Amino acid sequence: MTANAGQIEYWNGPSGEKWVRNQAIMDASLADATAGLLALAAIRPGERVLDIGCGSGETSLLAARTAGQVTGVDISKPLLALARHRAEGVAHLRYVEADAAHHAFAQEHNLLLSRFGVMFFDDPAAAFANIRTAAARGGRLAFVCWRAVAENEYAAMPFGIAKPLMPPLPPADPNVPGPFALSDPDRLRGILSGAGFSTIGIGKLDGVMRMGATAEQAGIQATSLGPTARALAKFDDVVRARVLVAVTDAFRSYPVTDGQITCRLACWLVSAKA
């Protein structure tokens, strides 16, 4: 099987389409992570930025406000189509459909950036070694990825409710490609140093994820993300409806603050010299 074939299928199928439909909601939800990442990245005017797993292009667009050239790379046709649409008129922003683990990048980027786009590689060590080849001399890496599911209420709460309502699942391996694949900081450090990165920084970012204004919106969002969404993708509409009702009910006891129900999110902010 082709490397990363499972992820290429996943992000070009219904899950990719769901991210397209929910782009505005997702970008608003992830505002804390985005702000943390951009502060870490400290993009300087004129820099060349590679946005890895750029999806629908939020961080590419934000980087393009300062950078001299931004290239977003992704494997998802539907997300890239939306990213290109959002970038109309931005001359120094372009998108490439390619697998970042294998693409022959020009060695010209000052910053290798990613918001939640680098946890999906079959062979993360080889993928990060390839990504490193995209850096210009003195280039740097800055990305944000998830800490463990248990620390992320937005993922742990709905999954805890969903689990008894779904057919049994095999035990989850936290290191398989997926949102939480880089959650172990020792493993993450080993992958990056093995790939040739140095001066590796792994710091905590704690924030909130905005889940929506109502329990109904929060229920939809919580079942569209993370381990609950991935598990539900395996089951039929009856199971999905049952889980959605239960998760929505759980959100009825959550306070609405400044018009939003929120859940705790927990990320790693990762930096390194390439």
Ligand X SMILES: C[S@@+](CC[C@H](N)C(=O)[O-])C[C@H]1O[C@@H](n2cnc3c(N)ncnc32)[C@H](O)[C@@H]1O
Q: What is the DSSP letter of 126?
A: H
Q: Is residue 224 involved in binding ligand X (CB under 6 A)?
A: no
Q: Is residue 4 involved in binding ligand X (CB under 6 A)?
A: yes
In this structure, are residues 80 and 145 in contact, taking their beta carbons and an 8 Å threshold?
Answer: no
- Residue 241: CB minimum distance to ligand X, A: 25
* Region at 91 (left for phi over 0; alpha for psi -120 to 50; beta for the rest): alpha
Q: Is residue 149 involved in binding ligand X (CB under 6 A)?
A: no
Contact with ligand X (CB under 6 A) among 38, 43, 54, 266: 54
CA dihedral 246, 148, 113, 12 (to 10 degrees): -40
Q: Is residue 191 involved in binding ligand X (CB under 6 A)?
A: no
- Residue 248: CB minimum distance to ligand X, A: 23
Closest CA to 229 of 215, 217, 219: 219
Q: Is residue 100 involved in binding ligand X (CB under 6 A)?
A: yes
- First CA to last CA across the chain, in angstroms? 30
Q: How many residues bind ligand X (CB under 6 A)?
A: 22
CB under 6 A: which stretch of 68-76, 128-136, 188-196, 227-235 binds ligand X? 68-76
CA dihedral 252, 257, 258, 263 (to 10 degrees): -80
Closer to ligand X at the Cβ: 75 or 269? 75
Instruction: Give contact residues for ligand X (rule: CB under 6 A).
Output: 4, 7, 11, 53-56, 58-59, 73-76, 79, 99-101, 115-117, 120-121
